[in-house]
A and B are shown apart, each in its own frame.
Chain A
Amino acid sequence: MADMKKIATRQSYGEALKDLGELYEDVVVLDADLANATKTDIFKKAFPDRHFDCGIAESDMMCVAAGLSTTGLVPFASSFAMFAAGRAFEQVRNSIGYPHLNVKIGATHGGISVGEDGASHQCCEDFALMRSIPGMVVMSPADDVEAKAMVRTAYEHKGPVYMRFSRYGAPVIHDENSFTFQIGKGEVLRDGMDVALIANGLLVAEALSAADILVRQGISARVIDMATIKPLDEELVLKAAKECKKIVTCEEHSVIGGLGEAVCAVIAQHGLACPVERVGVNDEFGHSGPAGALLEQFGLCAEHIVQMAKK
């Protein structure tokens, strides 16, 4: 993956918003004094009268988004994952989720790869929080191509959507000419029968690298990009559980409440015996450091996925 072009999906988010703004007049974007970091400034530059800064007030922003949506506009409320899902959780639950309003939440700087800012800003709980809200779609793209398609699809979807993007560059693994995206559908990037690596976000590229390493060791690994965490593509999970000897889930999120637990629940509910290893952040806080070094230190990398696949 080292030689591949890398783009941070927050950049993709900003660019996709601008494209969407050109197509649809009802798209409005909210930010909480982070437009430069969430990349909504790209939209702001193109459509200054449709970009509303809410100041450092994420709770207010989520409810403002709710109100805007009742007037027929389609707001994309943007902040860091920590504040969009964490600080404003109850506003998202009560004012967006409960009335099932058509609000899209674009949360950038998800996960530990936020890097130097440290634990206060490294949100590894957002999937868990957002999954728990009835009717909320929860997604995290692997790369630029998927992120842009996701933003377009989120617009077309009627109802609340939470999307998590990264600050750190992700290798572009999809071909934009042939790629299509569907909410709730996982994508088999590579087939294999010994182990299935079910990943999302930055960990998809790592899972592909892990599969490369594994195949050289005689282990065939299926790699699934599970960009939608909720609703989960249960069919694809069950197929993997039946056909492969083991599943390894890979996510830049706490092992509590994220993709790993969602996958485990589906397998357990169906009484399948397939063992599951969860690669994620193990019930601990992160700390400051360069993103790449942190991902390695916390085991969110190909080498650790290989270890877990062989465990």
Chain B
Amino acid sequence: MTKSEEIELQQQACKVRMGVLSATHGAKAGHPGGSLSAADLFTYLYFEELNIDPADPHKEDRDRFVLSKGHTAPGLYAALANRGFFPVDDLPTLRHIDSYLQGHPNMDTVPGVDMSTGSLGQGISCAAGMALGLKHQNSPARVYTLLGDGEMQEGQVWEALMFAAHYKLDNLCVIVDHNGLQIDGPNEKVMGLGSIPDKLRSFGLDVFQINGHDFQSMEGVFEIARQTKNKPCAIVMETTKGKGVSFMENQVGWHGKAPNDEEYAQGMAELNAALAGLEAV
């Protein structure tokens, strides 16, 4: 990727982060922390990696994305909206009564959402089922799923990983947003996960580790991941919860809390400044 392409992605990521703030501010609820830690990934997937068409969200050979950590819907919605699946202006209706932007991803109401998720541990199994179904029908489409690190405490995640390895689902890419924090505190204090890459490797996946805020690394790793044969791959992204909004960064309190008016204004000012800085480059 050229420097200017990277800057373009960074600009998009700024807009996705603004969408996260406007959605959670409008909802007066929601999960900004994990949406922001994964904002760069959402941006990379929807603007670079995925074979998708906003004008035809159900096209048969599209790549699928399953947000297994469904509570970070604001991040996914912000990426989908910026990519043209629905109006960015609708983001503040998140969680409102009668809005199509449900609190957790809903495949029936939100254009571009491939699976309804929210109950942790289930999305990865659904993604594995999709990958098996596509492979069975000789589709070239790939399936991507994003897990939270805390989500890996759900036993079903490991059932799904066994399944994916057993059926050699090399069209499945499991991504872990390793920001180290979950509702009750740091992962290691709540329920120690040990080495996530080691565990994934022992379950038979090809495992890569990257900085989840670096588009150059993403480009490299997704390129290699597509070459993986006969086994699923996993990308463990080291990230910062709340990334891009100074007062939210690495603060567990921002896992599931909306910014008030003042915080919203400050966050948007920071992101606007970041965007302006990128445009000046």
Interface residues of chain A, those whose CB is within 8 Å of chain B, are 28, 49-50, 52, 54-55, 57, 59-60, 62-73, 75, 90-91, 94-95, 98-100
| Smallest beta-carbon distance A311→chain B, Å | 45
B57 within 8 A of A: no
List chain B residues, Cβ under 8 A from A68: 129-130, 132-133
Contact (Cβ within 8 A) B132 A67: yes
Q: Is the interface of B mostly helix, strand, loop or mixed?
A: helix
Which parts of B72-111 form the interface with A (CB within 8 Å)? Answer: 106-108
Is B132 a contact partner of A60 (Cβ separation < 8 A)? no
B274 is an interface residue with CB less than 8 A from chain A? no
> A57-B162, A63-B122, A94-B116 known; 9 other A-B pairs, CB under 8 Å?
A50-B136, A57-B163, A64-B125, A66-B115, A67-B127, A67-B133, A72-B137, A75-B129, A91-B119
Taking the nearest CB of chain B, how far is it from the CB of A160, in angstroms?
13
Instruction: Contact check, B125 vs A60: say whether CB atoms are below 8 A apart.
Output: yes
Of the residues A49, A62, A70, A100, contact of B130 by C-beta under 8 Å = A70
Contact yes or no, B137 A67, CB < 8 A: no
Residues of A within 8 A of B114 (CB): 70
Q: How far is the CA of A69 from the CA of B137 in the complex (A)?
A: 12
Residue of B107, B128, B137, B166 near A99 (CB, 8 A) is B107
Given contacts A68-B129, A73-B136, A73-B137, contact A63 B156 (CB under 8 A): yes
- In the complex, chain A residues whose CB is within 8 Å of the CB of B121: 59
Please name the residue on chain B nearest to A66 by beta carbon.
B126
- Give B168 Cβ to nearest chain A Cβ, in Å: 12
| A71–B159 touching, CB < 8 Å | no
Given contacts A94-B118, A95-B116, A99-B115, contact A63 B108 (CB under 8 A): no
- Measured CA separation A28–B130 after assembly (Å): 13
Write the chain B residue with the least CB distance to A54: B163
CB distance from A63 to the nearest CB of B (A): 3
B246 within 8 A of A: no
Q: Is B116 touching A90 in the complex (CB atoms < 8 A)?
A: no
CA distance A62 to B167 in the complex (A): 16
* Assembly CA distance A95 to B128 (angstroms): 13
| Interface members, chain B 126-174 (any A CB < 8 Å) | 126-134, 136-137, 139, 155-156, 159-160, 162-163, 166-167
Taking CB as reference atom, which chain B residue is nearest A63? B125
Q: Determine whether the beta carbon of A55 is less than 8 Å from that of B133.
A: no
Q: How far is the CA of A155 from the CA of B244 in the complex (A)?
A: 49
Q: Which residues of A contact B117 (CB under 8 A)?
A: 95
Report B-chain residues with C-beta under 8 Å of the C-beta of A57. 156, 159, 162-163
Rounded to whole angstroms, the CA-CA distance of A258 and B126 in the bound complex is 30
Residue of B nearest to A59 (CB): B156
Q: Is the CB of A55 within 8 A of B162?
A: yes
Tell me if B136 and A67 are in contact (CB < 8 A).
no
Query: Do the beta carbons of A70 and B133 come within 8 Å of each other?
Result: yes
Residues in A with CB closer than 8 Å to B127 are 67
What A residues does B137 contact at CB under 8 A?
71-73
Q: Given contacts A94-B122, A95-B116, is CB(A73)–CB(B166) below 8 Å? A: no
Please indicate the chain A residues that have their CB under 8 angstroms from the CB of B130 in the complex.
Answer: 67-68, 70-71
**Partner pick for B108 among A64, A71, A99, CB 8 A cutoff:** A99
Q: Please give, as numbers and ranges, the residues of chain A lying within 8 Å of B160 by CB-CB distance.
A: 60, 63-64
- Residues on B with beta carbons closer than 8 Å to the beta carbon of A67: 66, 115, 125-133
Collect the chain A residues with CB atoms within 8 Å of residue B131's CB.
Answer: 67
For A73, list chain B residues within 8 Å (CB). 133, 136-137
Could you tell me the distance in whole angstroms from the C-beta of A148 to the nearest C-beta in chain B? 26
With contacts A67-B125, A67-B132, A68-B133 taken as known, whether A98 is within 8 angstroms of B159 at the C-beta atoms is: no
Sorted from nearest, which 10 A-B pairs have the closest CB atoms?
A67-B129, A71-B133, A63-B125, A64-B129, A60-B159, A57-B159, A67-B130, A67-B126, A68-B133, A99-B116
